[in-house]
């Protein structure tokens, strides 16, 4: 029998070394693989921070495959946050391991049901397209999907060569509320159910965190119902993002767009033509009910908007959720515009987020209207003999009830231990989202994940904030069992030789004089991008600051032969990265999405400039509520929450620089608080040890 130990695959004389001539076995990778294997075998949980270059995907994939193949019913879920890592696993890492592992195994990327085409619904939509679609190009897209359906292997939206309009895909997607099950004439050829059957045979299931929590929510309501089949272990890669993803999926989100979309699907008039489900079955009185409901939607959200405007608080500093208020276009003489008026500041509280602390802020006129519309749709469905037609109206009825239930729960604040808020967006802040999220996910994780799943492994490059008790933050936030192990593995890279950290004491304090700090940052950005001749990331904590700085430096950068690629210009992140990699002398300005999960190897990136320490603004409703919960139990919100979060984010930003053993470069942190505040030492403890410079002078 062949040796199935992880050393036999990953070791210096292992199967991978035999396949790849220049393969270097890494001690840290072997140590992590051993810890993962031990946790899976002992049915215990494990937390592993693996520094850049450890090769953590192979370190958990190899023992996961071995554990899954050890029994007939063995199955392991691998959950990631980003699409990029999913694609790396399913297209590169797993296919390679299938060629070197002794055991044969299958792996499958699991997608949400709405990603699959329903052949039955496609046929129905095509027959009724004239009564359902009015958007330009929609009919052509439906014809293209009809042709594609004959050739596609998996029937998933990602297999399409174009991105369909939401109104088109909504008509043809597989939907649990619009499924005939075994009664469907297309059941045997159904793409979704084919995928479900393949899932049952797979040893590894690759999912994203969002789908995992959707499955968790379904199982919380009914343990026998879920998206995923039974599994023995789950490995969360990019585990530092779990709390935020869980909060998004365990709360409420209601927008006017959701209501309008559903009503337009039922009945609307465009260019003198009436379309929608109620033009197929329904009477003029039913159309009137849709019009009435649409007017009530308008009235309800306007009442929310009026309440919000009355209750927004004035911030003397003009600070919003991004750390600053709305600012105008930067002048050429100064990156900072004139201060806002008091009235303007009062309309931009918390970056357009306003916390709601009491229930029933407005009268609930909306839920009753959607309940009435649901009853109307049920009555129409009862009179339809064809199951294929009936289910469309039953599905729409269920969605009406969903909106009504969500509105009631939000207004009454029915969900326990949640924070509620209104989010505004758009030019005038009048696009509203009614939102809620759990304040603490730890108790939920403890009950629904750590107590239910035999082995849960959390891994990331950033799980420890440094120091002796570095893992305490995530253990507390995630409800991780204190008796289970946590392992910190450093990077195999030689940061002393590969990286320099430049700190600046002689800078204005951003909290004492934001304007002077921003102006000084522009000067320092000029200085440091010239040192590296571009090839630099400049990372910001605020969209507004990034836009002002880009406006101020754009012409200067061009005059120096450097190309500015700024996220404030609205270019998609993947296209920005592609341009950065291929252009000489490029300088990329980015915010949140460029602090983590971005991999640029080689000389293309030789300089990472971090403008400001990445503290989450404390006036965001969820951050504020979490801080209050910590203070209520006798803790310190800044020390226990804000500071650890910022340390982890800074580690992510620093980690953009060195991606391989041959990479070299500098990280520049412009924020003087690294040197002037006592907590600056905590930030330094979390970063890799490398040569350090203060105001240009090397220090020990």
DSSP 8-state secondary structure symbol assigned to residue 356? E
SS3 of 63, please? helix
Residue 331 belongs to a domain? no
Pair (559, 680) in one structural domain: yes
Q: What is the mean pLDDT of the chain?
A: 88
Q: What is the pLDDT of residue 513?
A: 94
Q: What is the pLDDT of residue 297?
A: 97
- Integer Rg of the chain from CA: 27
Cα–Cα distance for residue pair 46/41, rounded to 1 Å: 12
Q: What is the pLDDT of residue 322?
A: 32
Pair (123, 192) in one structural domain: yes
Pair (429, 455) in one structural domain: no
Pair (642, 684) in one structural domain: yes
Share of the chain above pLDDT 70, in %: 93
Among residues 399, 423, 438, which one ends one of the domains?
438
Q: What is the pLDDT of residue 412?
A: 97
Cα–Cα distance for residue pair 700/697, rounded to 1 Å: 10
Task: Read off the pLDDT of residues 160-194 as tens digits, 9 standing for 90 and up.
Answer: 888 888 888 888 888 877 788 888 888 888 888 88
pLDDT value at 319 more than 50 = no
Residues 42-67, mean pLDDT to the nearest whole number = 95
Pair (241, 257) in one structural domain: no
Under the banding of pLDDT at 50, 70 and 90, the label for residue 24 is confident
Cα–Cα distance for residue pair 109/199, rounded to 1 Å: 9
Residue 335 belongs to a domain? no
Task: Read off the pLDDT of residues 471-496 as tens digits, 9 standing for 90 and up.
Answer: 999 999 999 999 999 999 989 999 99
Q: What is the pLDDT of residue 428?
A: 67
CATH number of the CATH domain containing 423: 1.20.120
Pair (649, 519) in one structural domain: yes
Under the banding of pLDDT at 50, 70 and 90, the label for residue 545 is very high
672 token code pair: 């003087």
Helix then strand then coil, % of the chain, to nearest 5: 50, 15, 35
Q: What is the pLDDT of residue 145?
A: 92
* Spatial CA neighbour of 586 closest among 606, 570, 572, 601: 606
Residue range(s) defining the domain that contains residue 138: 113-196
Higher pLDDT, 268 or 355: 355
Higher pLDDT, 598 or 495: 495
Q: What is the pLDDT of residue 398?
A: 94
pLDDT value at 617 more than 70 = yes
Pair (217, 257) in one structural domain: no
Residue 695 belongs to a domain? yes
- The answer to whether 235 touches 457, Cβ cutoff 8 Å, is yes
Cα–Cα distance for residue pair 41/219, rounded to 1 Å: 25
What pTM, to 2 d.p., does this model score?
A: 0.86
pLDDT value at 325 more than 50 = no
pLDDT value at 329 more than 60 = no
Higher pLDDT, 352 or 231: 231
Residue 320 belongs to a domain? no
Under the banding of pLDDT at 50, 70 and 90, the label for residue 351 is low
pLDDT value at 324 more than 50 = no
380 token code pair: 């129409």
Pair (430, 506) in one structural domain: no
Among residues 438, 461, 481, which one ends one of the domains?
438
Residue 342 belongs to a domain? no
Q: What is the pLDDT of residue 427?
A: 65
Highest mean pLDDT among 47-61, 134-148, 348-362: 47-61
Pair (606, 680) in one structural domain: yes
Task: Read off the pLDDT of residues 665-683 as tens digits, 9 standing for 90 and up.
Answer: 999 999 999 999 999 999 9
Pair (211, 353) in one structural domain: no
Pair (462, 572) in one structural domain: no
Residue 551 belongs to a domain? yes
Residues 428-444, mean pLDDT to the nearest whole number = 90
Residue 462 belongs to a domain? yes
Pair (190, 74) in one structural domain: no
Helices 256-266, 366-382: axis angle to 10 degrees equals 30
Residue 18 belongs to a domain? no
Number of separate domains in the chain: 4
Q: What is the pLDDT of residue 330?
A: 36
CATH number of the CATH domain containing 546: 3.40.50.300
- The answer to whether 31 touches 464, Cβ cutoff 8 Å, is no
The order of strands in the sheet holding 418-425 is: 252-255, 431-438, 418-425, 353-356
């Amino acid at each position: 029998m062949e040796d199935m130990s992880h050393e036999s695959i990953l070791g210096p004389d292992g199967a991978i070394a035999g396949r790849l001539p220049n393969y270097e076995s890494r001690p840290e990778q072997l140590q992590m693989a051993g810890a993962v294997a031990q946790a899976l075998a002992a049915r215990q949980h494990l937390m592993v921070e693996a520094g850049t270059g450890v090769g953590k995907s192979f370190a958990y994939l190899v023992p996961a495959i071995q554990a899954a193949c050890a029994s007939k019913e063995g199955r392991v879920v691998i959950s990631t946050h980003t699409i990029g890592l999913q694609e790396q696993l399913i297209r590169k890492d797993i296919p390679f391991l299938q060629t070197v592992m002794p055991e044969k195994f299958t792996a499958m990327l699991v997608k949400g049901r709405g990603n699959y085409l329903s052949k039955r619904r496609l046929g129905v939509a095509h027959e009724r397209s004239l009564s359902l679609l009015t958007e330009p190009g929609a009919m052509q897209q439906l014809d293209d999907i009809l042709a594609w359906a004959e050739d596609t292997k998996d029937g998933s939206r990602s297999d399409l060569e174009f991105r369909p309009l939401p109104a088109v895909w909504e008509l043809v997607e597989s939907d649990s509320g619009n499924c005939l099950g075994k009664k469907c004439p297309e059941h045997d050829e159904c793409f979704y159910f084919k995928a479900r059957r393949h899932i049952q045979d797979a040893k590894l299931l690759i999912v994203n965190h969002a789908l995992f929590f959707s499955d968790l929510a379904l199982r919380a309501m009914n343990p026998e119902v879920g998206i995923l089949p039974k599994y023995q272990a789950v490995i969360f890669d990019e585990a530092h993002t779990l709390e935020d993803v869980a909060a998004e999926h365990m709360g409420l989100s209601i927008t006017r767009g959701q209501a309008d979309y559903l009503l337009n699907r039922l009945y609307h008039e465009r260019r003198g033509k009436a379309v929608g489900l109620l033009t197929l079955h329904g009477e003029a009185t039913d159309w009137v009910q849709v019009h009435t409901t649409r007017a009530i939607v308008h009235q309800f959200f306007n009442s929310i908007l009026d309440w919000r405007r009355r209750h927004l608080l004035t911030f003397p500093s003009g600070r919003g959720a991004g750390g600053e208020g709305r600012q105008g276009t930067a002048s050429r003489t100064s990156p900072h515009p004139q201060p806002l008026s008091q009235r303007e500041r009062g309309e931009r509280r918390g970056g357009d987020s306003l916390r709601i602390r009491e229930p029933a802020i407005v009268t609930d006129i909306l839920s009753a209207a959607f309940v009435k519309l649901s009853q109307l749709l049920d009555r129409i469905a009862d009179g339809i003999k064809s199951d294929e037609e009936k289910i469309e109206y039953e599905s729409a009825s269920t969605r009406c009830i969903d909106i009504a239930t969500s509105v009631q729960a939000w207004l009454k604040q029915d969900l326990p231990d949640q924070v509620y808020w209104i989010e505004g967006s758009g030019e005038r802040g009048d696009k509203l989202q009614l939102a809620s999220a759990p304040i603490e996910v730890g108790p939920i994780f403890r009950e629904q994940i750590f107590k239910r799943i035999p082995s849960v492994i959390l891994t990331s490059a950033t799980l420890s904030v440094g120091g002796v008790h570095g893992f305490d933050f995530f253990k507390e936030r995630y409800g991780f069992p204190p008796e289970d192990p946590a392992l910190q593995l450093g990077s195999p890279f030689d940061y002393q030789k590969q990286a320099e950290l430049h700190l600046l004491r002689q800078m204005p304090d951003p909290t004492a004089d934001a304007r002077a700090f921003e102006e000084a940052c522009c000067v320092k950005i000029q200085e440091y991008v010239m040192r590296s001749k571009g090839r630099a990331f400049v990372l910001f904590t605020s969209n507004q600051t990034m836009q002002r700085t880009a406006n101020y430096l754009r012409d200067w950068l061009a005059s120096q032969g450097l190309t500015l690629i700024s996220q404030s210009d609205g270019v998609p992140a993947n296209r920005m990265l592609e341009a950065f990699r291929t252009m000489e002398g490029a300088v990329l300005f980015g915010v949140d999405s460029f602090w983590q999960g971005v991999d640029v190897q080689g000389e293309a990136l030789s300089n990472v400039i971090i403008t400001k320490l990445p503290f989450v603004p404390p006036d965001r409703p969820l951050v504020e509520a979490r801080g209050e919960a910590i203070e209520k139990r006798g803790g310190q919100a800044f020390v226990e929450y804000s500071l650890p979060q910022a340390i982890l984010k800074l580690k992510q930003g620093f980690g953009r620089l060195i991606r391989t053993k041959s990479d070299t470069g500098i990280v520049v942190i412009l924020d003087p608080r690294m040197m002037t505040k006592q907590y600056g030492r905590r930030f330094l403890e979390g970063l890799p040890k490398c040569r350090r410079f203060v105001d240009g002078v090397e220090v020990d």
